[in-house]
Amino acid sequence: MDRWLGKVAVVTGASAGIGAAVAEKLVESGLKVVGLARRKEKVDELAKKLIGKKGKLYAYQADVTKEEDILKAFKWTKDNLGPIHILINNAGTFRTTTLMEGNTRLWKEVLDTNLLGTCIATREAVKDMKTNNVAGHIIHMNSIAGHSVPNFPNLSIYIASKHALRALTETLRQELNSIGSKIKISSISPGYVQTEIVQASLKGSGPFAVPEIEEAFNRLPSLQAEDIADSVLYVLSTPPHVQVHELMIKPIGEPF
């Protein structure tokens, strides 16, 4: 991680769970980290906790479903901290709604967060890396749901979005190769991680929430957010000529 010392990283969805854990690990490794989140106050709280560490955490309020928010966040980062070296596309959500009788608004919330927000942030990061001749690293936070189709009918759109994210990882790798870029792209696919995402996503589903889903998740073997943050450090610490394209992490006893 020494080559990233003092460099700038952007982490989306940094207010809790995996995003917060990743931001903390990066700050401890000496990076200047911009944590994007709708709940900026949560990132501010984490930043105070990390005062005195090798790096520093900066909170910036942004909703990744809004392109203008992402563009402003990247402009602030470049103007105040310098070129971007690392992007962690962590922001994600699910909504409980089926394909046969689905709610269009809930479909859009999932796709706008998990796919379009990721695409926009990635575009802006690559643009800045190319302008500044930075051999940076982009990491998509995926899921084992992007590699199979677990039997959760109410999560159909979420599962589809994660499969699409896997395709986006490979197509970006091919695009970067086509221009001879040294920018890396990696995907990390955890199994079930104990974070706030289940409760927050079910709350966002409103009257379409399916309480049985939370119970099903609670019965699953699980990982901790820190486990995934450690995997991010591993991927980032590989030599410049090594690209971890896909890293899948499952808890012992994972049924999928």
Active site amino acids: 158
Q: How far apart are CA 174 and CA 168, in angstroms?
A: 10
Task: State the pairing for strand pair 56-61/84-89.
Answer: unpaired
Q: How many residues does the chain have?
A: 256
Local structure of residue 3 (DSSP, 8 states): G
Q: How far apart are CA 88 and CA 100, in angstroms?
A: 33
Coil, strand or helix at 141: strand
Within 10 A of 224 (CB to CB), how many other CB atoms are there? 15
Tell me which H or E stretch contains 56.
strand 56-61
Within 10 A of 140 (CB to CB), how many other CB atoms are there? 25
Q: Of 102, 123, 232, nearest to 168 (Cα)?
A: 123
From edge to edge, which strands make up the β-sheet containing 84-89?
56-61, 32-37, 8-12, 84-89, 137-141, 184-190, 246-249
> Angle at Cα 67 formed by Cα 57 and Cα 29, nearest 5°?
20
Burial of 81 (0-12, 13-18, 19+ CB in 10 A): middle
Query: Which residue's entry shows tokens 């970006």?
Result: 172
